[in-house]
A = this chain, B = another copy of it.
């Protein structure tokens, strides 16, 4: 099957929106001007590293490739507008049924969050499946939240649960765009990241970029299903170092955190506090702090 025939067919499946003036079919997409700052993120997923082509559901592979990018937009507190999908497609899979299923994974997630699929590049080769997605978004009217703004005294919170994502969550998670919107609309966040390399590694990056440290209460880490059967200490370690949670980890003042905790319509958990210094610590209070030595998740 020829590349352009595949593309022509898939174009029908791709959602559109008002941010896109000209989508798939020309040398570049044309986007309407924006008076808000724009966000751009790009993530590549590779067979055997981020998914297993022969055992994972194809729709879920497509879903994941777009979802990891939407998670990056959520982590800036933004809104996703358009996606660009590049594929290196194994010749053995260059047939319309496979492409339809893969694109159905992209499209249903895109439709759910009103993201246009506005371009990309489809190639056929003898190698494994590689999917590279770029997403363009816009910041919230309040601006972007970065990794640089954490302040000593901030409460550290996460959405959802942590750890054990490899059991299935990493393939069908919902990127936290709706939660990001609620947080941005109602609260003043100081810093935010999405947990992709493991809480320990990602929170360490917030600390490094903000020039602060963090203490985590192991008893407060919200554990995802697969961890609940494990010995508690092991589960806590996994919640800290497993990757691909794609939850939001953010920091905000004690007062804002209390307001947020009073809500019932968003799942957020307080897990620790930003402190002065460098690095990560376990402990409820200053006397019990112990440095955390953790390797984040390597895919």
Contacts and interface: CB of A to CB of B under 8 A. Distances in A.
A156 interface: no
B27 A31 contact: no
B127 A22 contact: no
A44 interface: yes
Contacts of A38: 30-31, 33-34, 38, 136
Q: Which of A87, A125, A132 has the most CB of B within 10 A?
A: A132
A289 B155 CA distance: 76
Contact of A134 (B42, B73, B125): B42
Interface string A282-297: 0000000000000000
A75 B289 CA distance: 59
Contacts of A82: 40
A84 B134 contact: yes
B134 A134 contact: yes
Nearest to A88: B46
Given A31-B39, A37-B21, A42-B86, A127 B76 contact: no
Contacts of A123: 44, 46, 49, 299
Contacts of A48: 125-127
Contacts of A27: 41, 71-73, 75-76, 147, 193-194
Interface residues of A, number: 64
Q: Is the interface of A mostly helix, strand, loop or mixed?
A: strand
A138 to B, nearest CB: 9
B128 A40 contact: no
Copies of this chain present in the complex amount to 2
Interface string A110-132: 00000000111101011110101
A136 B42 CA distance: 12
Contacts of A120: 42
Contacts of A37: 21, 30-33
B86 A44 contact: yes
A72 B120 CA distance: 12
A137 interface: yes
Contacts of A225: none
A139 interface: yes
A26 interface: yes
Q: Which 3 A-B pairs have the closest CB atoms?
A: A132-B132, A27-B75, A28-B41
Interface of A: 3, 21-22, 25-44, 46-49, 71-73, 75-76, 78, 82, 84-88, 118-121, 123, 125-128, 130, 132, 134-137, 139, 144, 146-148, 193-194, 209, 298-299
